[in-house]
A and B are shown apart, each in its own frame.
Chain A
């Protein structure tokens, strides 16, 4: 028997770390993906966790997973199926069996296969693999719990603390398998537990023992090499979507030379945005954790009236609560950004799961004629850019803007090429300058934006409010004026089309058979599916939207060039409905999914193949 592990070179690998929600799988996955990003792999991640903080231990409902997909080429998705599953208990195997690639590897803690745990995971026999029909997989049993105990024997820690380190054993082992150096993880542990030297030592010991175990047991596990991806030159760091969103907002405030205010209320999966901004007191951010969602947006509107660049963050049910106040921002024409990190709905729905749930709510969910600009980010890292653009539009055009991201983007992470402030587009707020000629609803002839004047500015004193008004801000019940003001507010939003880029097409620029249409967070999956389909010779192109209201100017022209349009979205057809209203001359086929999960490439590809067969047969 050879003592050297077989080294396999791969273009891309997806690993799923999975265990009980208290097992530290999110941290394990994050550390592994950061270490991979540092090596120069392109990565994409997908945390998949229950909404309960501590669901019943050992049950399938309490399983927390983190998938990381890394590769030597462009990686746009976290991967449909994992090559490797790391399972800390039987429930994790049950919950994830459907996410493992055929003939994939399952590394599991054999110590966890106790009668009690098998029962909790509702296995009927002592062989979960047989029960789940997992025959064609490489199963690697590692007594992780006992090895961790053994490793920490001399630390004199209690059993609970010892077992808390077992994720580090698994991490060490996987790092060996995938040839990741441990230095980044070590420095992270040292920093994180700086005040608890025993915890640092214990974790480092277990991490190394896991790594060495892999080396010593080479006959059991193969070893893989995934080379760095050829990515654009520059400085990179890993960001998750909510962080990138918060930073985009910060960058916009700095560029516009406006103090930043966030009024918000914690809600999954948007809370990170409030947290990211609350910690930025060093950059002067005023963060106001309000008593509820309504106060979140109302304090934001108050701060905008005060001349601050003000934002609020929320998710579906919170957006519903903010509707009335969004209407106030529309009629008062104050610049605010409402960030909505979408999750499964209706009602409380699926708080930790992703869905493109709120497009129609964003476009239409207010009383009266109440148009708002709507943008959607399409990857964790481009959340930075779209948050920046949402802010630019709000401040230059004096309008509230909704930025849509979703749970998949918000929690997912990705390397981001760090921009230089000087390279970001200028932001010129519609600042009022001349008190003599100032009127609150006097407008720029081109953009229709009114001027921003605020308390403290001498000579600009004025009144605004939620009632319909005339040029001077005073209440007007004049029928003709109301018609005019409604038309102007709509036109002002429509003219934002002048400042947004045209839609770009991936694939066949001349037109062709099939145009996939998507928006927001599905971009990665749609793009990699389109790429694969094209490499198989199928004439498919992709039009992906980040600007939803208004749409890019060339949308109609692009749609006209393709024989078939398939609108793909994680809802029951909200964007398709909107497009049918905007461009009724085209017919739109739909691909929809409502499972709290992203699309998979397989799903998209088979949908396109079905469409091709359909068109061939008629």
Chain B
């Protein structure tokens, strides 16, 4: 047992269990980044609770030396909601995947986000069902050929960030599994945010959907294909950092090059993650190759009322001038009569 539970290293967060993810799986990097973020946050280990659903990613709690609960398919959000509402002192992390959170657990996902319960959701998006060996998921692009769509899917995907926005989400960020440094930063921000924080991590499944994100993550092109947002900084990208995002006359985003067509640094949009109006956040979430780079980092971070805090506050408020203080008060209240 640690003497001072806030002084620990990444080693103290690793459970003795052998990690059984496939060699080369993106999950290895993600767990590394989560553990680093937990060390940075320096919350006492016993206050961390990691809850997961079903899927490859959901084995996560077994590899952590914190409290952990590996639940059932799609229900991690609901279990985590109960856990956090019961004890708002905890740092609750939900580990989930695109199938777990957006298909079978879609209802719990949107309602957790709507309530704004203070839970950190790490959504591993590999656009495939890995644990059941290669069926399409709700984030697969139309036409995706898988074992259950041998002729290609005939349906369009969810964009997780838009689902979060549509559910009144207060925090959304995007990260790449292999970029541990940036993932770490985003996870720390997510944990510090009060309310439901959803971090979509583009994760590579080496077996069933290898290279699904390579177009975006390929080191040769990443400067041109990734926009790493920083709050209050202009949205610049490209090898020379001379490309940026502007709002055109039609009110839509556009890629512009500084020095071309009279564009200067002042024309480039400055990122404001804290803007309650989600218009630009949605535009940023929606940016796709090849027209745009893909946006990473904290896209939205907005203050709002937090469910678990409000629940406690309401109880406290009612209790202040309550006549009923214990069960016996309740039983003997109202219309009672004596039989002598």
Interface residues of B in 284-340 (CB under 8 A from A): 311, 314-315, 318-319, 322-328, 330-332, 334-340
Min C-beta distance of A35 to chain B, whole Å: 10
Q: Mark A230-268, 1 if CB is under 8 A from B, else 0.
A: 011111111000000001001100100001010100000
Contact A283 B75 (CB under 8 A): no
Q: How far is the CA of A457 from the CA of B45 in the complex (A)?
A: 10
Contacts of B10 in A (CB 8 A): none
Among listed A63-71, A306-314, A550-558, A588-596, interface-contacting one: A306-314
Q: How far is the CA of A250 from the CA of B329 in the complex (A)?
A: 12
Contact A305 B83 (CB under 8 A): yes
8 Å CB contact of B69 from A40, A259, A435, A463: A463
Q: A282-B325, A455-B90 are in contact. Are A466 and B47 (CB under 8 A)?
A: no
Contacts of B75 in A (CB 8 A): 294-295, 298, 325, 328
Contact B62 A475 (CB under 8 A): yes
Contacts of B65 in A (CB 8 A): 461
8 Å CB contact of B87 from A299, A301, A455, A460: A455
Interface residues of A in 567-609 (CB under 8 A from B): none
Contact B79 A305 (CB under 8 A): yes
Q: How far is the CA of A302 from the CA of B119 in the complex (A)?
A: 13
* Centre residue among A34, A236, A295, A327 by max chain B CB count within 10 A: A295
Q: Is A502 an interface residue (CB 8 A)?
A: no
Contact A299 B339 (CB under 8 A): no
Q: Is B49 an interface residue (CB 8 A)?
A: yes
Among listed A51-59, A86-94, A129-137, A418-426, interface-contacting one: A418-426
Q: A261-B86, A302-B78, A465-B69 are in contact. Are A250 and B339 (CB under 8 A)?
A: no
Contacts of A286 in B (CB 8 A): 85-86, 311, 315
Contacts of B45 in A (CB 8 A): 461
Q: Is B61 an interface residue (CB 8 A)?
A: yes
Contact B336 A236 (CB under 8 A): yes
Q: A250-B330, A305-B79 are in contact. Are A456 and B337 (CB under 8 A)?
A: no
Q: A233-B339, A282-B324 are in contact. Are A474 and B79 (CB under 8 A)?
A: no
Q: Is A213 an interface residue (CB 8 A)?
A: no
Q: How far is the CA of A295 from the CA of B319 in the complex (A)?
A: 27
Q: Mark A450-475, 1 if CB is under 8 A from B, else 0.
A: 00001111111111111100000011
Q: How far is the CA of A325 from the CA of B215 in the complex (A)?
A: 40
Q: A280-B330, A302-B51 are in contact. Are A259 and B86 (CB under 8 A)?
A: yes
Chain A interface category by residue count: 35 or more
Contact B72 A463 (CB under 8 A): no
Q: Is B80 an interface residue (CB 8 A)?
A: yes
Interface residues of B in 38-91 (CB under 8 A from A): 44-49, 51, 54, 61-62, 64-72, 75, 78-87, 89-90
Min C-beta distance of B46 to chain A, whole Å: 4
Q: Is B232 an interface residue (CB 8 A)?
A: no
Q: How far is the CA of A247 from the CA of B332 in the complex (A)?
A: 12
Q: Is A292 an interface residue (CB 8 A)?
A: yes
Contact B111 A295 (CB under 8 A): yes
Q: How far is the CA of A419 from the CA of B1 in the complex (A)?
A: 45
Q: Is B15 an interface residue (CB 8 A)?
A: yes
Contact A237 B82 (CB under 8 A): no
Contact B340 A456 (CB under 8 A): no
Contacts of A308 in B (CB 8 A): 86-87
Q: A237-B334, A455-B67 are in contact. Are A288 and B314 (CB under 8 A)?
A: no
Contact B62 A301 (CB under 8 A): no
Q: Is B149 an interface residue (CB 8 A)?
A: no
Contacts of B90 in A (CB 8 A): 306, 455-456
8 Å CB contact of B71 from A300, A301, A435, A455: A301
Contact B70 A463 (CB under 8 A): yes
8 Å CB contact of A418 from B61, B324, B331: B331
Contact B327 A250 (CB under 8 A): yes
Min C-beta distance of B104 to chain A, whole Å: 10
Contact B80 A474 (CB under 8 A): no
Interface residues of A in 315-357 (CB under 8 A from B): 324-325, 327-328, 332
Q: How far is the CA of A302 from the CA of B52 in the complex (A)?
A: 11
Q: How far is the CA of A465 from the CA of B54 in the complex (A)?
A: 10
Contacts of B340 in A (CB 8 A): 233
Q: How far is the CA of A487 from the CA of B15 in the complex (A)?
A: 28
Contact A463 B68 (CB under 8 A): yes
Contacts of A231 in B (CB 8 A): 339
8 Å CB contact of A282 from B68, B79, B322: B322
Q: A236-B337, A298-B78, A301-B71 are in contact. Are A459 and B1 (CB under 8 A)?
A: yes
Q: Is A291 an interface residue (CB 8 A)?
A: yes
Contacts of A302 in B (CB 8 A): 51, 69, 78-86
Min C-beta distance of B340 to chain A, whole Å: 6
Q: Is B132 an interface residue (CB 8 A)?
A: no
Q: How far is the CA of A421 from the CA of B108 in the complex (A)?
A: 38
Q: Is A143 an interface residue (CB 8 A)?
A: no
Contact B87 A306 (CB under 8 A): yes
Closest residue of B by beta carbon distance from A458: B46
Closest residue of A by beta carbon distance from B44: A458
Q: Is A37 an interface residue (CB 8 A)?
A: yes
8 Å CB contact of B107 from A291, A456, A463: A291
Closest residue of B by beta carbon distance from A35: B335
Contact A418 B70 (CB under 8 A): no
Contact B108 A247 (CB under 8 A): no
Contacts of B82 in A (CB 8 A): 261, 263, 288, 298-306, 310
Q: How far is the CA of A310 from the CA of B149 in the complex (A)?
A: 42
Contacts of A290 in B (CB 8 A): 78, 111
Contacts of A421 in B (CB 8 A): 326-328
Min C-beta distance of B45 to chain A, whole Å: 6
Min C-beta distance of A430 to chain B, whole Å: 18
Q: Is A184 an interface residue (CB 8 A)?
A: yes
Q: Is B5 an interface residue (CB 8 A)?
A: yes
Q: How far is the CA of A467 from the CA of B322 in the complex (A)?
A: 44
Q: How far is the CA of A147 from the CA of B6 in the complex (A)?
A: 77
Contact B61 A235 (CB under 8 A): no
Contact A235 B337 (CB under 8 A): yes
Min C-beta distance of B339 to chain A, whole Å: 5
Contact B64 A463 (CB under 8 A): yes
Q: Mark B1-28, 1 if CB is under 8 A from A, else 0.
A: 1000100000000010100000000000
Contacts of A285 in B (CB 8 A): 315
Q: Is A612 an interface residue (CB 8 A)?
A: no
Contacts of B314 in A (CB 8 A): 281
Closest residue of B by beta carbon distance from A301: B79
Contacts of B318 in A (CB 8 A): 281-282
Q: Is A284 an interface residue (CB 8 A)?
A: yes
Contacts of A288 in B (CB 8 A): 81-82, 85, 311
Q: How far is the CA of A606 from the CA of B163 in the complex (A)?
A: 63
Closest residue of A by beta carbon distance from B114: A291
Min C-beta distance of B111 to chain A, whole Å: 4
Contacts of A454 in B (CB 8 A): 67, 87
Q: What are 25 residue pairs bridging A and B, where the CB atoms are less than 8 Å apart in the complex?
A: A235-B339, A263-B82, A290-B78, A291-B111, A295-B78, A298-B108, A299-B82, A300-B82, A301-B79, A301-B82, A302-B79, A305-B49, A307-B87, A328-B71, A418-B331, A454-B87, A455-B47, A459-B1, A459-B46, A462-B67, A463-B15, A463-B69, A465-B61, A465-B71, A466-B71
**What are the nearest 10 A-B pairs in CB distance?**
A302-B82, A465-B70, A299-B82, A298-B78, A282-B322, A463-B68, A306-B86, A302-B83, A281-B318, A303-B86
Given A234-B339, A290-B111, A301-B71, 15 further pairs, Cβ under 8 A: A40-B339, A184-B335, A232-B339, A235-B332, A281-B314, A283-B327, A294-B75, A302-B69, A302-B82, A303-B86, A435-B1, A455-B49, A456-B46, A465-B62, A465-B68
